[in-house]
Amino acid sequence: MPSRRLLAAFGLLLLALVATSRPQRVGDAREYLAMAMNLSRLQSPALSRGDMIQIERQLEQVHFTGLPLAFHRQLTDAHGRQDFFHFWFYPALAVPGIWLTAITGLHPNYAFVGLNVLLFLGALWVVSTRLVWWLTAAVFCSPVLWWIDKSHTEVFTFSLLAVAFVLLREAPWWSMICLGAAATQNPPHAVLMAGVAVVALVVRRDAWRTSRFWTGAGIAVALALLHPMYYMWRWGLPTPQLILGTRARVPTIQELGAVLWDPNVGLLFHAPLLVLTMLTAVVVVGVRARRRLAEAEVWLALASAGILLLSFAQTTNFNNGATPGVSRYAVWLIPLTIPVFQRAAAVVLPRSHRWFVGLALASCMWSIVAFQPRRPENYCAPTRIAASLWTRWPSLDNPLPEIFAERLSGEEPGLVPVATPDCAKVLLIGGQWPVPCYPQSVPGACGTPNALCYGNRKDGGYHFVRVPRPADYDFERRRTWTWNPASARGIVRVLERLRWRDLRWIRQSAPGAMVRAAYNVSWTYGLQSDEQLLVYVAEPRQGARLELRLPGTMTGSLIDPATGDDIQPVQIGTPLTGLVGVELPAGRAAIVVALCRRR
């Protein structure tokens, strides 16, 4: 397919995806918008208190809510101006779009939509003139589609990487410039930029004699230095990521590869046909022209993947948000496949061409369905594959504790101890077990204070695996109902009233939760099924009550969890408003509300 037709087809696809979506705040989108809006008024990217109040008011008016902008106290100077942990280069590119949205009355997020579409289509044009259309489509019709209407840097980074890796041999100076621009938002790309310079001198031995090489290198270095020089000038450090967001360390294999193979955030499980297309390309080149896999551009792509994976593993937030499920870092890896795809397209045999094209197009269709921009972000619930693994074959996957705890508890930081429904897989801390999972003896290493261990059900018991505790990550331990010897008998009596294996933990006020709110209590811990509700209420005070939304009339009791004795019976109907309050007696350490649906 000629590149113009491919460009037109993708233009229509993006138009349809954006038209069926709506502006939604994900991740750090408010920061990028705030910087762009302030720059559009020809002011500093560092916001004063007055700037923040004004921009907060504007964003609230267009329902672009999120964390307050006055969030980074570490980056507030003596004059009250606050910088952000994310650099202002990408927002600066959106300034013309901000002016247009102000004139037309559109949502300011569309400034970034327009910028993302231009970057995406520009990169598509460059790649499509150098790579066959069906492999170009596989690269661009990928998880990156979800970010096309978001005020986030994923499309920016993806597009620059795509151009950089398709031009490695033909125009390495442009590759360096693209990677220098990418480094403005994510400094590790500067290392890739240096790698391009080395490869260019190996592949084009006369490159150092050309003015284009040195001009490109100079522009690339200048771009890459913008980020560290600005923060050195303002704060005396090369990047604010050294304050928050990263932790320098030698990562484990699991940390290094989570964005590739973890069933919750990994590319393999979210875009399996794309991964299969890539593996097929490797096999095709390996069989037909093995020497081409040893060419400098392929080695650079492989080394770049290793460098990026190493940088991803320095994060303190593996279960990152601003994503429909797959780690947003995985999107950066997709353009690195281009050198292999270029060689596969050159050597594929005619008899293999048809099914190879079919696989690439099937990958495109998968991404169009799975990564529509209108889908909400989802990083607080396990994927179907992960939930199935943890329930049926719990020993097959022992994920990073942060991912397991946050996905099951639906909170950030995640609650521990925590377990899957029916307790097939349990994450213990210090040997503690969450209710309703009946406790069993644990190895000595799992019983030490703060030790994290997975308990995987096997042959009627549990097999225990100790996992490293993540540094710089504090699990939430105070809001979990756990077993202790003093109250074990009472907890057993409570659980005997219900079919406890049907119960699942659910966060208060989460979609589908029967407990909508709690007043004058320290915290609640809710377990429920379609027919049952069990709520542990800690430290009820005067005026304590629960606000519930029930599926029908339910009966049960208020119970003393220490003894299992009834405090008083409860029968609750379903009012027309849908919400009903349950008054709780004050002055107790804890109360359990146990209800069953009345038939």
Is residue 71's pLDDT more than 80?
no
User: Which residue, 441, 442, 438, 439, is CA-closest to 453?
Assistant: 442
How large is the average pLDDT for residues 275-297? Answer: 93
Digit-coded pLDDT (tens) for 36-57: 999 999 999 999 999 999 999 9
Is residue 34's pLDDT more than 70?
yes
Is residue 2's pLDDT more than 70?
no
The pLDDT mean for the chain works out to 92
pTM: 0.93
User: Which residue, 281, 289, 295, 16, is CA-closest to 138?
Assistant: 281
Confidence tier at 363 by pLDDT (50, 70, 90) = very high
Residue 471 is predicted with a pLDDT of 76
Q: Give the tokens for residue 567.
A: 């405090």
How large is the average pLDDT for residues 261-281? Answer: 96
Ramachandran angles phi, psi of 198, nearest 5°: -65, -45
Q: Are 251 and 207 in contact (CB under 8 A)?
A: no
Residue 460 is predicted with a pLDDT of 85
What domains can you pick out in the chain, each with its CATH number?
3-12+27-370 (no CATH), 389-483 (no CATH), 494-597 (2.60.40)
Residue 577 is predicted with a pLDDT of 67
* CA pair distance 539, 520, nearest whole angstrom: 8
Is residue 380's pLDDT more than 90?
no
User: Which residue, 437, 517, 443, 448, is CA-closest to 481?
Assistant: 437
Digit-coded pLDDT (tens) for 143-166: 999 999 999 999 999 999 999 999
The residue with tokens 């005619």 is: 350
Residue 413 is predicted with a pLDDT of 87
Is residue 1's pLDDT more than 60?
no
Helix extents (H) in 371-486: 384-392, 401-409, 444-447
Identify the top-confidence range among 126-135, 239-248, 590-599.
Answer: 126-135
User: Which residue, 413, 472, 27, 468, is CA-closest to 248?
Assistant: 472
User: Which residue, 379, 8, 324, is CA-closest to 152?
Assistant: 324
Digit-coded pLDDT (tens) for 338-351: 999 999 999 988 77
Ramachandran area for residue 245 (φ above 0: left; ψ -120 to 50: alpha; else beta): left
How large is the average pLDDT for residues 296-325? Answer: 92
Percentage above 90 pLDDT, the chain: 76
How large is the average pLDDT for residues 387-394? Answer: 95
